[in-house]
Structure 1
Amino acid sequence: MIHEVDEVLRALFRTEALAGSQVNVVFDAPTRDWAATVNAPTVNLYLYDIREDMRRRERGLYNEYDERGTVVSRRRPPRYFKLSYLITAWTRRPEDEHRLLSSLLSCLLRYESLPPGRLTGELAGAVVPIPLTIALPPPEDRSFADVWSALGGELKPSLDLVVSVPVTESPVYAAGPPVGDEGLSLGFSGIPPATRPTTADAGAGAGAGAGAGAGAGADRPEQTVYGRLPDVPNPAARRADRSRAAGRRPRPGISSRVAEDEQDGARE
């Protein structure tokens, strides 16, 4: 993945920014010893930092479909990694170096992402753009002076190029079967046949006909019996039953009481 970004940048610079010139494009560390060996105009793209772009981190899963549009698997979204390049120009005269940096800057400002037509390998299969930024302020946790100090060289004018590359390598999770219009089928598994309820077991709990029911059900195929919940009477019916058992009339409703009062008044 990183080497493919190197090749895209090399081809982009040679065909657009440095077209018709004999300038070399290398990726060596610009140390003091390396600078002493440069004997031709050179553009150096030094990859000095690799870290994940947390602002582009996504959560959840992406669905993958077959030719019928059915979800067959799920995978995590791509994770972006920032590749930071320190671009410098090396010639005999500072004016020529500035001219090269100007050409490189103008070339990169035409793009907000790597040109899709130049992508190869895994980058060509990416379904999302590969963004790039040029000459932005450095992050607070480091400066370019620190980079040059670590290299042991002298500070030179440079361009900071950051390419955010998506990495799609992630575990693939198989999806379950789709649910059709007929719904789901449920069943028992791993239960011995002797423990399943049968018609014989239902007949055994009936009381007097337990023996006959058990004998008749022994020759029948196994059949699951679904019991019925007992009926629960409402509270008013229970109070009425207790009143009748005690020899009292149930308490009538309002309409019944009015009718009884009218009858008592007529008798008087």
Structure 2
Amino acid sequence: MLHEVDAALRTLVSTRALAGGDVRLVFDAPTREWAAQRNIPTVNAYLYDVREDMARRERGPARVHGKDGRVTAYRQPPRFYRLSYLFTAWTKQPEDEHRLLSAVLGCLLRHETLPADTLPAGGMLASAGLSVPITAAVPPPDPRSIADIWSALGGELKPSLDVVVVAPFLVSPEYPAGPPVTEVEVRVRDSVYAVTEVRREPLT
């Protein structure tokens, strides 16, 4: 699932924010050593935190419906995970970095969810049939410092966008449902509870 979100972000940002420019989008850790080797304009989307969104956890089996609307299988509800990315721009001039970040921010603000056409075909996210919310530059719900992240990476603090994607993860196989009920059995009993007649009638 993580690599599918990476692919969706790459498609979204590369085609709708960085199109027409000679700018790379990478998912490397922006360490001091990495920064020293960079030689072309780059936008970095570093995945620095993955944790379950406990408020979205559900209990009990979920129904899987076929094309005709009937229940065909059951499975456990998906778990939802918050994927936090640190978006930064790397060029020779701070002004150019700010322009790149503005372009990325404007692109992400136009989408409350990852567009369906950016999700990898045949992947987990596309097959789940659920929206994948995305937020950009929103204060985090828990107290964590971006400066601490830079300190852990050994790099210098830079302007950045905190981008969070909430993605579903299918955690169990599907279990086929039994055949649909199409008729009901009627048993007629006499006064001493002996069965005198058994007949089947269509279920309406």
- Whether the TM-score (by the shorter chain) exceeds 0.5 is yes
Query: Match of 1:63?
Result: 63
Q: Distance in 2 between matches of 1:68 and 1:112?
A: 30
* Larger strand fraction of residues: 2
- Tell me the amino acid that sits aligned with residue 75 of structure 1: R
Query: Match of 2:146?
Result: 144
Q: CA deviation at 1:139?
A: 3.6
Q: CA deviation at 1:73?
A: 2.9
Provide Cα deviations, 1:153-195, integer angstroms capped at 9, x if missing partner: 111110011111111231434445555543399xxxxxxxxxx
Query: Match of 2:84?
Result: 84
- Tell me the amino acid that sits aligned with residue 130 of structure 1: V
Q: CA deviation at 1:68?
A: 6.7
Is 2:81–2:167's contact at 8 Å kept on the other side of the alignment? Answer: yes
1:81-230 alignment, distance < 5 Å: 81-120=81-120, 121-122=122-123, 123-176=125-178, 178-183=180-185
Give 3-state SS (helix, strand or coil) of 2:185's partner. coil
1:246-265 alignment, distance < 5 Å: none
Give 3-state SS (helix, strand or coil) of 1:95's partner. helix
Query: Match of 2:4?
Result: 4
Q: CA deviation at 1:72?
A: 4.2
Q: CA deviation at 1:138?
A: 2.5
Q: Distance in 1 between matches of 2:59 and 2:144?
A: 29
Q: 1:39 to 1:70 in 2, by over 3 A?
A: closer
Q: In percent, how many aligned pairs have the same letter? A: 60
Is 1:138–1:144's contact at 8 Å kept on the other side of the alignment? Answer: no
Query: Match of 1:257?
Result: none
Query: Match of 1:246?
Result: none
Q: Give the total of aligned pairs.
A: 189
Unaligned runs of 5+ in 2: 194-204
Unaligned runs of 5+ in 1: 186-227, 230-268
Q: 1:107 to 1:60 in 2, by over 3 A?
A: same
Q: Which structure carries more relative contact order (alpha carbon 8 Å, separation 6+)?
A: 2
* Larger helix fraction of residues: 1
Give 3-state SS (helix, strand or coil) of 1:182's partner. strand
Give 3-state SS (helix, strand or coil) of 2:50's partner. strand
Q: CA deviation at 1:66?
A: 5.3
Q: Distance in 1 between matches of 2:57 and 2:38?
A: 41
Q: TM-score, normalised by structure 2?
A: 0.82
Give 3-state SS (helix, strand or coil) of 1:5's partner. helix
Give 3-state SS (helix, strand or coil) of 2:126's partner. helix
- Tell me the amino acid that sits aligned with residue 167 of structure 1: F
Give 3-state SS (helix, strand or coil) of 2:149's partner. helix
Q: Distance in 1 between matches of 2:42 and 2:102?
A: 14
* Backbone CA RMSD of aligned residues: 2.4
Is 2:9–2:118's contact at 8 Å kept on the other side of the alignment? Answer: no
Provide Cα deviations, 1:79-133, integer angstroms capped at 9, x if missing partner: 1111111000001111111111111000000000001112113122221111111
Q: TM-score, normalised by structure 1?
A: 0.64
Q: CA deviation at 1:149?
A: 0.9
Query: Match of 1:38?
Result: 38
Runs of 4+ in 1 over 6 A off after TM superposition: none
**Structure 1 stretch displaced more, 101-110 or 162-171:** 162-171
Q: CA deviation at 1:65?
A: 4.4
Query: Match of 1:196?
Result: none
